[in-house]
Amino acid sequence: MSQQQEKKIITVFGATGKQGGAVVCALSKSGQYHIRAVARSRDESHTQKLREMGVEIVKANIATGAGLDKAFCGAYAAFLNTASFDPEIEGKEYECGRCLVDQARANGVKILIWSTLPNVQKLSNGKYNVPHFTEKARVEEYIRSLQTQSAFESVIFVAPPFYYQNFLCPKFLPKKDEKGCFVFEFPKLRTLTACDITDLGPIALKLFQNPHPYNGKIVLIDSENAPPQHYIETFQKVTGQKSCLKHQEMENRKDIHHAKQLAEMFAYLDEFSYFGQEKLPIVHAREIYPEVKNWETFLRKTGWKGEHQEEP
């Protein structure tokens, strides 16, 4: 048997995306695991980065269930994430998540990381409706119910807040006005909790290496927590580009999909912050991985100066 085959298998969903991609990258750098990256297509162009890392690529679809057995077969651990706004998944994210968890369990997966978000419905007493948060939280509750029968050795929930990378994509990209000032349009928010989503990779690696102390915990990837104005001032300081903040509520953004849901999300975050006043088993990312990047470090490391960038 080759060395690669002897390594424990970790299955990573969303491996071509930001969260799963970060996890694959960190696991691959460690050289400790056999990485099984899941994608809906094995096309060379679509999976090029994964191919360069030399990881196994398995074709599976969360929405139809096709290939899930193969994805989990013989796996020791798995990173699970559902893409809420993918047309195949939207409207049935809870069912998709639950199916993933059941398949992982049926295949004897021992360690699970579930990418979660708060239950907005519950925490706001029904005031706000943010399905892409609540559906993930419902899957978390389902997993917790299974854990009363010790379905898995350890399950850890990771909760990424707003990615810094969102500022680099069309929805939140600053626009240059006629005076050359970068205008960041953002809804009213007391504090924006945010992270460099690539930091999820080394965090997940640490959790896979030492899962048991974190069993049942929610790891909040909160690398920066500051008013939106701080992000703009830091951008100006680091890049030297004149910039300003303009309040713009999401429901007025005719240019984006899901504007209403995002408006409710920001209203919820403004009133309750991520997890409200609930006493939850939260661990902050810095306790696991002190190197998490604040916004200033992110700007300095990436060299981003306000231009559009799909893949930071």
- Site of interaction with ligand NAP (CB under 6 A): 14-20, 39-40, 61-63, 81-84, 86, 88-89, 117, 132, 160, 162-163, 166
Give 111 or 135: the residue with its C-beta nearer to ligand NAP: 135
CB-CB contact of 297 with 304 (8 Å):
no
Give 15 or 25: the residue with its C-beta nearer to ligand NAP: 15
Give 181 or 282: the residue with its C-beta nearer to ligand NAP: 282
- Rounded to whole angstroms, the Cα distance separating 35 from 53 reads 10
| Strand ranges inside the chain, DSSP E | 9-12, 34-39, 56-59, 77-80, 111-115, 154-159, 162-163, 175-176, 182-186, 192-195, 218-220, 224-226, 243-247, 282-284
Handedness of CA 220, 302, 171, 60 (dihedral sign): negative
- CA distances to 183, 202, 249 from 26, rounded to whole Å, are 34, 5, 36
Residue 43: CB atoms within 10 A of its CB come to 10
Q: Least CB distance from residue 212 to ligand NAP, whole Å?
A: 25
- Which position has the token pair 């893949």? 311
Q: Least CB distance from residue 1 to ligand NAP, whole Å?
A: 30
SS (H, E, C) 120-148: HHHHCCCCCCCHHHHHHHHHHHHHHHHHC
DSSP tag of 210: S
Give 82 or 124: the residue with its C-beta nearer to ligand NAP: 82
Q: Least CB distance from residue 312 to ligand NAP, whole Å?
A: 11
CB closest to ligand NAP, residue no? 17
Q: What are phi and psi of 221, to 5 degrees?
A: -90, 65
Q: Least CB distance from residue 117 to ligand NAP, whole Å?
A: 6
Q: Least CB distance from residue 139 to ligand NAP, whole Å?
A: 11
Single-letter amino acid code for the residue at 71: A
Q: Least CB distance from residue 115 to ligand NAP, whole Å?
A: 7
Q: Least CB distance from residue 61 to ligand NAP, whole Å?
A: 4
Among 273, 266, 229, which Cα is nearest to 250's? 266
